[in-house]
């Protein structure tokens, strides 16, 4: 994201919130297209993504081009007043590519080639793939730059390919040479004296292919970095072609939330628009919480500016073993949740359900049964509602709390052969986010190296890998008055993946005022006790999976393990406070602790009924009921529900899966809602 580049506002300008989906007209005879356009107009669709998987149709054989059909689609969309997010079709090369140039096909870590017949079968390091993908991108850009329908460019789809082939090995070596210059520096960084892994020359280096036993964790860490960079190079190559032909049109590619293989912090500055695909698992009881967390990540990647939900499903997906449809109202609830958290667009995969191919059982905006269906009626109704929220586009969501999440740390933390594989970076993040969500406290996501001074509270649930520089910045943050919370097994490794020596967490010992000598995973839950006079409820709490042998070096001990050793500590440091939590407390204890974190930071929480989410965007308060029962939310004074126009006094009642979006009257209703 760069201030001098066109952003999402160039797409929302004059349109308001974006609503639509992936449109794949090549799957249908042309007479259906006219009906599509009419239905889109009726549903308030104002943006469709076209061409994501059209390479075979645009270039049926190498060098042969057929764009006439796409000309007609773009003209039709323009005439219907529907803007187009035009995609480069490079996520799925046609069979001719793999057949003629088998070296473009990816190879897995076992040396198995992944063939065509599905999608995504390309190697990020293949020069032929790069050349052919840029040729088709150039042809599209030449032809459609300036087309009045094209409001945004969409590069590829859900980048995530990993390849272990020989071309990739050569590319990996080049990447390593640029990083280390000298093979001895690489040997040091990878600790190759261990198990006799010393490299005598660059040519010996290979990707971490399947090996007899545990592969060097520092090699794997660099490999993860390389793979993310190699994909980014493909993205930026296509992006640069589009920018050259179409400088005034923003470029995006769709992310996949907390997707481990790609470091979105390093990708975000390269994009004009942050967009995401979100397919929650309805059987996961915490999916609304994960949704909120993921949306907050997207807003944070966008630097606090609006982002867009590029794909979600109207009902069931088809790729889980057992695919549950969404109950009535769920589509609207999930979409408005994204809008509440900063999305300026809420789009779907896909417009019209496919009757053939691998996704024929995936729900769509127009189901196979046609427009005269409950499913399509819900889509149309939601489009109508989004039009009422036109003015929400461009407004901001602000946060006083930041959660730290770093891809490099995530990669390093979950390598094989660690004390316990029960410590999960994303679960830890979700555990610490959940009580904030319950209390209506909005949080941003940030990296340890981000500017943290705007935040009153910074929570690092799991920062296994932490550079000394970033640790020093966190220390300064607290010294200057910030409140920091650090979760277990943090500050353990340096950026090479080498463990810091001495008592842990070495680079954070000063600020935390606590140090440890041993990590002690446990099989059964353990009992922890609140220290007297700390004011916590009851005698103690249970914790699971993980304990540490800690010693206070100045911090107050808040809770102890059953051997009397510290489990939770709080340290006044400079003008701020630093907490350390050396275990995985149960949810109730973490909720109680979160109250203290918020109190220390002076960040107010809100009383909300179970399952109700509250978030402010601009001057609106979004109340979202994820529960199956009716919920009452109280607030002081008068408000109006901007969706219904209903005046409200001192409270709102939310139906199951209901949403209220309140504009509170100045001077009367500015206080946070409270449970009745």
227 is in an annotated binding site: no
Least spacing, CB of residue 357 vs ligand GLA, in Å? 10
**Position of minimal CB gap to ligand GLA:** 277
Per the annotation, the verdict on 158 as an active-site residue is yes
E-strand stretches of 112-193: 150-154
Radius of gyration of the chain (CA): 26
For CA atoms 460, 570, 596, 521, give the dihedral sign.
positive
Least spacing, CB of residue 252 vs ligand GLA, in Å? 13
State yes or no: residue 101 binds ligand GLA (CB under 6 A). Answer: no
**Site size toward ligand GLA, by CB under 6 A:** 10
Closer of 73 and 615 to ligand GLA (Cβ): 73
Helix axes of 425-438 and 287-301: crossing angle, nearest 10 degrees = 100
676 is in an annotated binding site: no
519 is in an annotated binding site: no
- Dihedral over alpha carbons 215, 220, 226, 232 (to 10 degrees): 120
Least spacing, CB of residue 257 vs ligand GLA, in Å? 11
Closer of 347 and 401 to ligand GLA (Cβ): 347
Closer of 199 and 279 to ligand GLA (Cβ): 279
Q: Do β-strands 307-311 and 401-404 pair in parallel, antiparallel, or remain unpaired?
A: unpaired
165 is in an annotated binding site: yes
Least spacing, CB of residue 51 vs ligand GLA, in Å? 12
Residues 29-48 that bind ligand GLA (CB under 6 A): none
| CA gap 168, 178 in Å, rounded | 15
End-to-end alpha-carbon separation of the chain, Å? 43
State yes or no: residue 158 binds ligand GLA (CB under 6 A). Answer: yes
State yes or no: residue 317 binds ligand GLA (CB under 6 A). Answer: yes
Phi, psi at 670, each rounded to 5° = -80, -10
Stretch that binds ligand GLA, among 60-68, 311-319, 416-424, 658-666 (CB under 6 A): 311-319
| CA gap 241, 389 in Å, rounded | 35
**CB atoms inside a 10 Å sphere around CB 266:** 15
Per the annotation, the verdict on 381 as an active-site residue is no
360 is in an annotated binding site: no
Closer of 24 and 442 to ligand GLA (Cβ): 24
Residues 346-365 that bind ligand GLA (CB under 6 A): 349, 359, 362
Q: Rounded to 5 degrees, what angle do the CA atoms 474, 479, 482 make?
A: 70
State yes or no: residue 311 binds ligand GLA (CB under 6 A). Answer: yes
The neighbouring-strand residues paired with 86 are 50, 153
| CA gap 298, 264 in Å, rounded | 9
Closer of 277 and 296 to ligand GLA (Cβ): 277
Residue-wise over 370-395: b if at least 16 C-beta within 10 A, else e? ebeeebbebbbebbebbeebeebbbe
Omega cis (within 30) before 350 = yes
Instruction: Name residues whose C-beta falls within 8 Å of residue 35's C-beta, 6 or more positions apart in sequence.
Output: none
| CA gap 420, 416 in Å, rounded | 9
Stretch that binds ligand GLA, among 292-300, 310-318, 393-401, 492-500 (CB under 6 A): 310-318
Least spacing, CB of residue 312 vs ligand GLA, in Å? 9
Instruction: Name residues whose C-beta falls within 8 Å of residue 196's C-beta, 6 or more positions apart in sequence.
Output: none
Least spacing, CB of residue 350 vs ligand GLA, in Å? 7
Least spacing, CB of residue 311 vs ligand GLA, in Å? 4
Least spacing, CB of residue 281 vs ligand GLA, in Å? 12
Active-site position among 311, 415, 548, 613: 311
State yes or no: residue 386 binds ligand GLA (CB under 6 A). Answer: no
Active-site position among 30, 35, 103, 158: 158
Closer of 364 and 569 to ligand GLA (Cβ): 364
Nearest to 577 by CA among 607, 546, 553, 556: 556
Site string for ligand GLA, 249-278 (x = CB under 6 A): ----------------------------x-
Closer of 253 and 475 to ligand GLA (Cβ): 253
Residues 275-294 that bind ligand GLA (CB under 6 A): 277, 279
Q: Is 297 helix (H, G, I), strand (E, B) or coil?
A: helix
528 is in an annotated binding site: no
How far is C-alpha 471 from the chain's CA centre? 24
Instruction: Name residues whose C-beta falls within 8 Å of residue 145's C-beta, 6 or more positions apart in sequence.
Output: 242, 245, 246, 249
Binding positions for ligand GLA, rule: CB under 6 A: 157-158, 277, 279, 311, 313, 317, 349, 359, 362
Residue numbering of the annotated binding site: 119, 123, 157, 163, 165, 319
Residue numbering of the annotated binding site for substrate: 119, 157, 319
Catalytic residue numbers read 158, 311
Residue numbering of the annotated binding site for Zn(2+): 123, 163, 165
């Amino acid at each position: 994201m760069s201030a001098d580049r066109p952003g999402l506002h160039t797409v929302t300008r004059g349109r308001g919130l974006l609503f639509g989906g992936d449109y794949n007209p090549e799957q249908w005879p042309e007479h259906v297209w006219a009906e599509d356009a009419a239905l889109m107009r009726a549903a308030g669709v104002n943006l469709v993504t076209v061409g994501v998987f059209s390479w075979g149709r645009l270039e049926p054989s190498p060098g042969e081009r057929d764009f006439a059909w796409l000309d007609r689609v773009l003209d039709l969309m323009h005439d219907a007043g529907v803007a187009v997010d035009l995609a480069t079709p490079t996520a799925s090369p046609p069979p001719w590519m793999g057949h003629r140039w088998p070296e473009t096909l990816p190879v897995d870590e076992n040396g198995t080639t992944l063939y065509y017949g599905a999608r995504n079968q390309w190697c990020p390091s293949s020069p032929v793939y790069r050349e052919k993908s840029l040729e088709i991108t150039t042809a599209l850009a030449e032809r459609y730059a300036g087309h009045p329908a094209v409001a945004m460019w969409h590069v590829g789809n859900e980048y995530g390919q990993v390849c272990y082939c020989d071309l990739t090995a050569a590319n990996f070596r080049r990447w390593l040479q640029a990083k280390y210059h000298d093979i001895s520096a690489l040997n040091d960084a990878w600790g190759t004296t261990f198990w006799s892994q010393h490299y005598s020359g660059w040519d010996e280096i290979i990707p971490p292919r399947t090996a007899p036993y545990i592969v060097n964790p520092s090699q794997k860490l660099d490999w993860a970095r390389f793979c993310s960079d190699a994909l980014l190079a493909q993205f930026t190559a296509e992006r640069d072609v589009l920018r050259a032909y179409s400088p005034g049109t923003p470029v995006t590619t769709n992310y996949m939330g907390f997707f481990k293989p790609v470091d979105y912090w390093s990708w975000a500055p390269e994009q004009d628009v942050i967009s995401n695909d979100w397919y929650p698992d309805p059987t996961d009881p915490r999916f609304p919480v994960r949704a909120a967390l993921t949306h907050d990540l997207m807003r944070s990647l966008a630097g606090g500016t609006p982002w867009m939900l590029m794909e979600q499903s109207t009902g069931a997906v088809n790729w889980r073993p057992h695919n549950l449809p969404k109950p009535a109202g769920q589509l609207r609830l999930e979409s408005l949740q994204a809008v509440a958290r900063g999305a300026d667009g809420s789009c779907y995969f896909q417009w019209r359900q496919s009757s053939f191919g691998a996704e024929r059982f995936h729900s769509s905006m127009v189901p196979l049964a046609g427009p005269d269906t409950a499913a399509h009626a819900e889509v149309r109704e939601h489009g109508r509602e989004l039009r009422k929220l036109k003015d929400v586009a461009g407004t901001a969501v602000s946060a006083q709390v930041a959660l730290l999440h770093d891809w490099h740390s995530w990669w390093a933390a979950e390598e094989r052969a660690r004390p316990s594989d029960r410590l999960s970076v994303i679960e830890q993040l979700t555990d610490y986010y959940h009580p904030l969500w319950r209390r209506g406290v909005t949080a941003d996501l940030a990296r340890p190296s981000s500017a943290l001074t705007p935040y009153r509270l910074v929570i690092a649930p799991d920062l296994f890998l932490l550079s000394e520089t970033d640790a020093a910045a966190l220390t300064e943050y607290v010294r200057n008055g910030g409140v920091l919370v650090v979760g277990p097994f943090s500050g353990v490794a340096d950026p090479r993946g080498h463990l810091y020596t001495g008592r842990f967490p070495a680079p954070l010992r000063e600020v935390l005022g606590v140090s440890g000598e041993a990590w002690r995973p446990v099989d059964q839950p353990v009992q922890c006790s609140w220290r007297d006079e700390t004011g916590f409820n009851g005698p103690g709490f249970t914790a699971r999976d993980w304990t540490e042998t800690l010693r206070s070096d100045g911090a107050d001990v808040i809770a102890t393990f059953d051997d009397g050793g510290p489990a939770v500590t709080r340290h006044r440091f400079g003008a701020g406070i630093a907490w350390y939590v050396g275990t995985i407390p149960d949810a109730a204890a973490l909720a109680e602790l979160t109250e203290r974190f918020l109190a220390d930071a002076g960040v107010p929480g809100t009383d909300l009924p179970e399952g109700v989410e509250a978030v402010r965007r601009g001057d609106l308060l979004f109340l979202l009921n994820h529960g199956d029962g009716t919920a009452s939310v109280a607030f002081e004074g008068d408000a109006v529900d901007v969706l219904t126009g209903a005046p409200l006094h001192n409270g709102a009642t939310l139906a199951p899966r209901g949403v209220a979006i309140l504009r509170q009257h100045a001077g009367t209703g500015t206080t946070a809602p409270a449970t009745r």
